[in-house]
Amino acid sequence: MKQDDFLVNALRNSQEAGLPSIEVSPAQGQFLYFLTKLSGAKRVLEIGTLAGYSTLFFAKGLLDDDSSEVVTLEYDPQIAKVAHKNFEESPYRRKIRLLVGEAKDSLMKLVQENVEPFDIIFIDADKANNPLYLDYSLQLAKTGSLIIADNIIREGEILNENSSDERVIGIQQYLEKIAAESSLESVAIATIGIKGIDGFSLSIVTK
Ligand X SMILES: C[S@@+](CC[C@H](N)C(=O)[O-])C[C@H]1O[C@@H](n2cnc3c(N)ncnc32)[C@H](O)[C@@H]1O
Stretch that binds ligand X, among 33-41, 73-81, 133-141, 179-187 (CB under 6 A): 73-81
Kindly write out the interface string for residues 2-31 of this chain, putting x where it contacts ligand X by CB under 6 A and - elsewhere: --------------------xxx-------
Between 126 and 157, whose beta carbon lies closer to ligand X? 126
Eight-class DSSP state of 88: H
Contact (CB, 8 A) for 119 and 133: no
Q: For the segment 32-61, give every residue that binds ligand X (CB under 6 A).
A: 48-50, 53-54
Question: How many residues in the shown chain lie near ligand X by CB under 6 A?
Answer: 18
Q: Which stretch binds ligand X (CB under 6 A): 37-45, 67-75, 138-146, 167-175?
A: 67-75
CB of 56 to ligand X, least distance (A): 8
Q: Which is nearer to ligand X, 49 or 172 (CB)?
A: 49
Closest separation in Å from C-beta 182 to ligand X = 28
Q: Are 170 and 131 in contact (CB under 8 A)?
A: yes
Q: Give the footprint of ligand X on residues 145-174 (CB under 6 A).
A: none
Distance CA 38, CA 40 (A): 6
Please report the DSSP string for 129-143 in residue order. Answer: GHHHHHHHHHHT--T
With respect to ligand X, which residue has the nearer C-beta, 4 or 102?
A: 102
Verify binding: residue 102, ligand X, rule CB under 6 A.
yes
Angstrom distances, CA of residue 159 to CA of 127, 171, 173 = 16, 10, 12
Q: Is 119 in the site for ligand X (CB under 6 A)?
A: no
125 binds ligand X (CB under 6 A): yes
Question: Judged by CB under 6 A, does residue 181 bind ligand X?
Answer: no
d(C-alpha 112, C-alpha 26), whole Å: 35
Helix pair angle (166-180, 130-139), 10° resolution: 40
The candidate with the shortest Cα–Cα distance to 200, out of 130, 97, 111, 132, is: 130
Q: Is 2 helix (H, G, I), strand (E, B) or coil?
A: coil
Q: Which residues bind ligand X (CB under 6 A)?
A: 22-24, 48-50, 53-54, 73-76, 79, 102-103, 124-126
